[in-house]
Structure 1
Amino acid sequence: MSAYLDGPGPIALAHRGGGLEVPENSRAAVEHTVSLGLGYLETDVHATSDGVVVLSHDPTVDRVTDGTGAVREMTWDRLSRLRDRSGERLLRLDELLADFPGLRVNIDAKDDAVVEPLAETVRRTAAWDRVCLASFSDARLARLRAALGPRVATSLGRRDIVRLAAASRLPGPAQRRALRGLPGPADGAVCTQVPVSHRGVPVVTPRFVGAAHRHGLAVHVWTIDEPAQMHALLDLGVDGLVSDRPRVLRDVLTARGPWH
């Protein structure tokens, strides 16, 4: 089983390195995360046409660099000539893992094309206990689990989150039956990462948190930027918060006691 979540207290995940405090998914954002004393970074990845995994939320570089075009249609050589809003080139995942060895990274695989290069990068860098692989796509996560096995931490995909939410409303025995086959720690799944609500329907409720915990899953909630909401969710018993304002989140957690 992965040691990705080992340690005391709730975790603070800097969303894209703190997109409201520093240019997102940049080397500067990673350095910002580390400078705050945070041990976890949330990021997103796409792969270039020659299989290099880079930090990028969007499929194109238009929004965050001085260039245009789709990441998957560019070679790394071409992409490396562009500059992001911090003035640096886009950061490769293998560089992130090599240059910041104390950091644990939640990695959202943004499309199908990145699955194999991402799995290969994890193998090559031996980042087994340092990464948690995430995606909205259950199929994408199934491919990653098949490629890397339970040694690497993963989150739940959208379909499995819906299953967990539905099961959380059932009484004990019925809930256990409803959760049979849902990925759990034995499969490498260590957490569920969810918004507070979806289309006006609450997701993070006491019953949801309880069901997740009984199944061996931590609950991480995104994207939480206001102190009052941070406190309310931590009072509810969630295990981690994802924030575009990691400095604020750090201060909230520090005021409450032990965390990592």
Structure 2
Amino acid sequence: MPKRYFDNPGPDGAQRPIALSHRGFAPDGRENTLPAMAAALDLGFAYLEIDVRTTRDGVVMVFHDERLERVTDGSGRLADHSLAELSAVRVRGSEPIPTLEEVLERWPGVRLNIDIKDDSSIQPFADLVEKHGVHDRVLVAAFSDRRRLRVLRKLSRPTASSAGMAVNALIKALSPLKLTRLIAKLARVDCVQVPLRFRGLRVADRNFIRRCNEAEVPVHVWTINDRATMEELLDDGASGLVSDRADLLAEVMVAWGAWPQYN
């Protein structure tokens, strides 16, 4: 198991919960941009959750949506544009869309939870991990377990990975039967990253978190933006929280004695 990605020891050496800033910290809407990431790092974060998609000419970009319209002044699918064409596009009118390579090179100590959004990113993403030797500081995530596993098979060293939708559902359903560790091993999963609720049903409840912890499978819960729920989940034993409110999550982690993060 590639444990180094998850290492977040306190002064006494004990593992502390991980705080992940969701697409950086962007109260102005400039998500997944370099200033958003820098803002989270300035608050003390060492873990960033980001998304990647790939251009027509094979460059991995840090961007969430399939299309450009919601957060940029561009239009159409990102995958239909070249890097040169995207160089003129601005997020919220001010910031360029960064490449993943820019992020890897700018912050060599930061841990990145990377949600791979499209199949065209599989090979170029794996190539970047190999080129920069960042196997210990990235976590491969995708809603599609098929896509996630295809990436892992292309990497030369063990790399952390979280379950996709299908494996998450399987672990949730079978965790009462104490099959979590077996499923995680077979599916090449090092943690589960789940929403608090799905279709009105609570996913990350106390019993589910406890069973995963007993199986040594960390539970990260997304996207938690209020103090009370953050504190409740930490009390319940969650190993990580993902939030848009990086400022609030940092305050909670300070009170929890889990700040600053290891970097």
Aligned residue in 2 for 1:209: 209
Aligned-partner residue type, residue 169 of structure 1: P
| Secondary structure, aligned partner of 1:249 | helix
Number of aligned residue pairs: 253
Instruction: Give how far 1:183 is off.
Output: 3.1
Partner SS, residue 12 of structure 1: strand
- For 1:150 and 1:237, how far apart are their aligned partners in 2? 30
Q: 1:4 to 1:238 in 2, by over 3 A?
A: same
Question: 2:239 is matched with which residue?
Answer: 239
In structure 1, distance between residues paired with 2:27 and 2:232: 21
> In the alignment, which residue of structure 2 is the partner of 1:143?
150
1:161 aligns with 2:168: yes
Note if contact 1:145-1:187 (Cα within 8 Å) is conserved in structure 2.
Answer: no
TM-score in terms of structure 1 length: 0.92
Q: Kindly indicate whether residue 65 of structure 2 is the aligned counterpart of residue 58 of structure 1.
A: yes
Counterpart amino acid of 2:194?
A: V
Q: What secondary structure does 2:152 align onto?
A: helix
1:15 matched to 2:27? The reply is: no
Q: In 2, are the aligned partners of 1:149 and 1:187 still within 8 Å (CA)?
A: no
**In structure 1, distance between residues paired with 2:242 and 2:136:** 19
- CA distances 1:17-63 after superposition (whole Å, capped 9, x unpaired): 02435510011111101111110000100000111000111011111
Alignment match, 2:12: none
Q: Which ranges of structure 2 fall in alignment gaps of 5 or more residues?
A: 10-15
Q: In structure 2, the residue corresponding to 1:148 is in which secondary structure? A: coil
Partner residue in 2 for 1:249: 249
Residue 84 of structure 2, aligned match among 77, 93, 99: 77
Q: Offset of 1:117 from its aligned partner?
A: 1.2
Counterpart-to-counterpart distance in 2, 1:188 and 1:98 = 27
Q: CA deviation at 1:258?
A: 2.4
CA contact (8 A) 1:150 1:189 kept: no
**Residue number in structure 2 paired with 1:123:** 130
Letter in structure 2 aligned against 1:222: W
* Kept in 2: contact 1:221–1:241 (CA 8 A): yes
Change (3 A) 1:98 1:237: same
Relative distance call for 1:28 and 1:243 in structure 2 (3 A) is same
Shift of 1:244: 0.4
Decide which moves more: 142-151 or 153-162: 142-151
Q: How does the TM-score come out when normalised to structure 2?
A: 0.91
| Structure 1 moving runs of 4+ over 6 Å | none
| Map of 2:13 onto structure 1 | none
Q: Which amino acid letter does the alignment assign opposite residue 183 of structure 1? A: A
Once residues 119 and 66 of structure 1 are traced to their aligned partners in structure 2, the CA distance between those partners, rounded to angstroms, is 30
Give the SS at the match of 1:107: strand
Cα distance in structure 2, aligned partners of 1:193 and 1:92: 24
| Aligned-pair identity (%) | 40
Residue identity matched to 1:203: V
**In structure 1, what is the Cα distance between the partners aligned to 2:48 and 2:140?**
12
Contact 1:128 1:152 survives alignment (8 Å): yes
Which amino acid is the alignment partner of residue 51 of structure 1? G
Change (3 A) 1:187 1:194: closer
1:253 counterpart letter in structure 2: M
